[in-house]
Structure 1
């Protein structure tokens, strides 16, 4: 029997377990994917603890995970354009991707290019669509300056690259251990912490035009203090500050059709124009260890589960 991550109620990492489950059967418009890799994300931890239950209610036992990449095993009725044996990138809106076999709506899949690794493909959806949406929300242009907090994290490491592709100057806030990577991607690294506003002003003497916050903890207030207009500030982490100040919270499903954005990002990765750093991989059976690393919030890039 195939294995899948499950939990029976809100709680910490210790509620997670790996169960044997019935083999899923694809219905109309669905395909069955054997997962090769599935990324993990902070949003999943928030859902598991119940912190966002008012936004994302749960029924139990609950599965977990959105990101996935794998090989199609079966197709259901009314599925065109996909067939068994095809390598695909996709996502599940059913909290189901942390598993060996996953049912996916055919429209939520795109083909995996040859030069995109399983680890990168399987961790692309949440961070990729979120970064894409955040960058489009603040609309940086050539000659402008955009600051991105959490610039070496899962979303941030993609957002800095996408923002650079617009021709804007990008300042990335990150720990010093990640400054070399940022510099290698033509991003100006700035250390976070006390005095960060002065360091940003020194790095951007002509001012800051846009700000993307992927971390929370006061960065919306910092962006306003730097003189950034509210409509050019986007946070994916501090919704209380967004409600208070009227800044944007774009990034995610509202960014656009997920499979279309996935295909666009996968093509950029396939051509070597952007990269997704992979911090570490864990077998599915070590899902607790994977989330322990994630929740330290000091990871450069993505943490990935592999079913074997």
Structure 2
């Protein structure tokens, strides 16, 4: 899945995947009790920060924390009862004069023996090193440095060791009606769509109520459900999707969290949480030739309120 960052970032995230997927698929067989997800997350963030501490002249930085993925299958984010791992990345903007090649060459020695260099597939024109942070739970890091249109940068991506699955939340109050969460999700999607220039809605998709595994509802005899749907729009042929995604957080304001995808797809997309609309979750995808698709996922609702 592609991010709203410059195209360089797509290469960087792909570098991590190529370097780490073999280790990930073979390294998640539990030989001891798994840590909690929060512990694994804290270990990985600490490892990322330990690398960042060796970039003292950073001009600006942006930290992103991704959703958990299932160990052994990084294309699956539905943990259920299977071990999961944390992903996070840190973008560190550097001043002019920063030497990316020197930084990558010197980093392993600066970090010391607690960070082991892991062999990786070299990619022409990409300066990078993969690391195993032994003192931080064995977190895997990919550190890339270079220069993009916006200047020099250091980009750190981290994956944690496998952790315990996150148990579902037990609702402390009755869940909302299904129709209410459906309306909230639709309202959120239309508010996001209103930021698109010269848009024309071409299609709306609605699914049947979907099982909601992340919440246990002790107030109802029915399993919780959520609404899923989508809105499709045409925009002008000169629509600049990457620029639009970069500007989207400003366009939407503080009531929306815009979260770039950590691992890129062919199609640029971001995830959005609409706090003012019941925390409905949206995914906005920018397709070639002027097509934009907004997927909607409501919060969990009382399964008893669905028309049957």
Fold-level match, TM-score > 0.5? no
Q: Which has the larger radius of gyration?
A: 2
Which structure has greater helix proportion? 1
Q: Give TM-score scaled by structure 2 length.
A: 0.26
